[in-house]
Amino acid sequence: MKVLRPRPRLILAIVAVLLLSALVVGVFGRRMAQAALVRSPNYHVKAFAPIPGEIRVEVSSPPASLSLELMNVEAPRGTVFVLHGIRDRKESERGFGRQLQERGFRAVLVDLRGHGRSTGQWLSYGVIESQDLKRVLDDLTERKLVDGSVGVMGISYGAATAIEWASIDPRIKAVVAIAPFASLRAVVPGYSPIELPSSTLNGIIDDAAKEANFDPDLASPSAAITKTKAPTLLIHGRDDSRIPFWHAVEIADAGGGHTELIVVPGEDHDSIGADRTGTIRDRGFGWFVKHL
């Protein structure tokens, strides 16, 4: 079976920090950097025409319409939400969805706000998105589309969001996070082509978050992991230069006894999602078999 390879990339963050070098030209460059950090891919999109089989859920604060795809099985042993990376979309995660189906789970693929066929102007690196997902779970539960215990897996941006969601929603019973960042403040400096003062970077992050109306210090999986008891498996490529594996080490150290870390030799931020070693297939999906 050919698995559709996820394409987890922090392209928006890359663009953001490349634009930080434009700070030498003053206020305009700073505003461009702020916009690149928090404006979503669908910044100007107001609505999408419905398509057959699509599930839509309306969320608020700020309002957005989220697009979901349900990959069902008969008598599921549990329900697993699957979250894509930044500037990606749910279709990239169908390979993971099929593998979950093979193990008897109902998979729910989600276009996070501002991505794919979901509306939403701003990115918040899991802060607002985790609140969105609480509402999605409420909605699907009301529609009787959730069976058994609930888990969530995500890659990169989606991995961070998965951990942050679990920290505010005790219904999440297991998490698999692939290549997450430890915090927004920790990940942005690593994308800078030149070394910039931390005060400059933090000032841009603060101003961008103010524009998008979220607290940037809440965009922190390493803090969020301390607020959930859900068993959490972290999988990270040792050769990841975009989000080095020390991010996952920091999260694992903060999580203590309910967190396990697997560092995969020879894998980087792009290749980890292709699962050439079978680590996600065997250990990741086995995590849900064990804990859901």
Residue type, 20: L
Task: Provide the pLDDT for residue 8.
Answer: 45
Task: Provide the pLDDT for residue 196.
Answer: 73
pTM of the model: 0.91
Structure tokens at 189: 């400096």
Each residue's pLDDT tens digit, 87-131: 999 999 999 999 999 999 999 999 999 999 999 999 999 999 999
Q: What CATH topology corresponds to 11-291? A: Rossmann fold (3.40.50)
Task: Provide the pLDDT for residue 194.
Answer: 67
Q: How far apart are CA 101 and CA 123, in angstroms?
A: 30
For the chain, list residues with pLDDT below 70. 1-29, 192-194
Q: In terms of Cα–Cα distance, which of 222, 239, 124 is closest to 182?
A: 222
- Under 8 Å between Cβ of 249 and 138: no
